[in-house]
Chain A
Amino acid sequence: MATKDYIRERFFPHMWCPGCGHGIVLNGLIRAVEQLGIDKSNIVMVSGIGCSSRISGYLDFHTLHTVHGRALAFATGIKMSRPELNVIVPMGDGDALAIGGNHFIHAARRNIDMTAIIMNNRIYGMTGGQYSPLSGYGTLATTAPYTNIDHSFDIVELAKAAGATFVARTTTYHAQQLPDIIKEAITHKGFSVVEILSQCPTYFGRKNKEGGAVEMMERMKDNTTPIGSKAKQENQSLIERGIFIKKDMPEYCSEYGKIIERAMKGK
């Protein structure tokens, strides 16, 4: 395994905190790309702003580090002009669903062929631990010292309803499932959403007394279950992981190609 072939070693050790789940996502993503055997120069990674978005700087693909919440908009532009490239868009929960919520639902609706990876650590880590739309009711954050009264999105349900044709969820604890799901997402033709539950021991863990990275990962093991498991029937509070949806629908760039052809014929 040559992890080093896919990274920009000069930027290591990376800037993420000790035990940050985002490093595990980076780790799994590299393995997925290696196992798929995709040429590095055929991958474009587009990210926005936040701890999660720093991932693009560490990978030796074509990378763009763009503006907060708008990574999918930039990615759409790239994919429309060069549909043959593999476009991967790593985002944080705040980046994808607060600031970028609109871009997210519309990219899903269009079914444009790209892979959106949402690294969900339920907090804004980079700016000091403010609550995000995924923090959830009753959690603590720097900006919710008396507990948060906002309810969280369910990323999987939102992505499904918005029209994404591949929707999956896993966690940083499930380090063997993680690359497998990313591989399926990348090979799927259409808008793929992968939610990865990730740990922020520095802010979410500390504020909510969930312990360090190890305890947070133990919690992911205990609080999640494969889709449709018996455990889920007995305990509805468990979070399901696996592939929720994988279906074929007309893809945006292919459809646009047909429109160009039609326009060239003049009718």
Chain B
Amino acid sequence: MGKKPKLKEHRINRNWCKGCGICVHFCPKNVLELDSEEKAVAVRPQDCIACKLCELRCPDLAIEIITE
């Protein structure tokens, strides 16, 4: 408790992502973007605070935030 979790990786399932953009829009640190195939990608992972809001709000269960 008390120690903030540190990001290890964004695990994004490209086969399940439907490109709705919810994760991109609501990310408080602007970490995610949709790529040319309309799939979510973590383009600025160094800014991620591992709040997991993208994981919680993903309607496709396509995002998993792995922490250290």
Contacts and interface: CB of A to CB of B under 8 A. Distances in A.
Interface stretch (A6-14, A93-101, A159-167, A189-197): A6-14
Contact of B61 (A17, A27, A213): A27
B56 to A, nearest CB: 4
Which secondary structure characterizes the binding site on chain B?
Answer: loop
B15 A212 contact: no
Given A13-B16, A213-B21, A23 B64 contact: no
A201 B62 CA distance: 19
Contacts of A21: 59
A133 interface: no
Give the bracket for the number of chain B residues in contact with chain A.
Answer: 10 to 19
A120 to B, nearest CB: 16
Given A16-B59, A24-B57, A27-B56, A214 B25 contact: yes
Contact of B58 (A1, A27, A176, A217): A27
Given A1-B64, A13-B15, A217-B26, A212 B56 contact: no
B49 interface: no
A41 interface: no
B57 A12 contact: no
A28 B53 CA distance: 11
A7 B21 CA distance: 23
A28 B22 contact: no
A12 B21 contact: no
Nearest to A31: B56
A228 interface: no
Given A13-B16, A13-B60, A24-B57, 16 more contacts: A1-B55, A3-B64, A13-B15, A17-B18, A18-B18, A18-B20, A18-B59, A19-B20, A24-B58, A26-B61, A27-B57, A27-B59, A27-B61, A30-B61, A172-B57, A175-B56
Q: Closest 4 interchain pairs by CB?
A: A23-B59, A19-B20, A18-B18, A175-B56
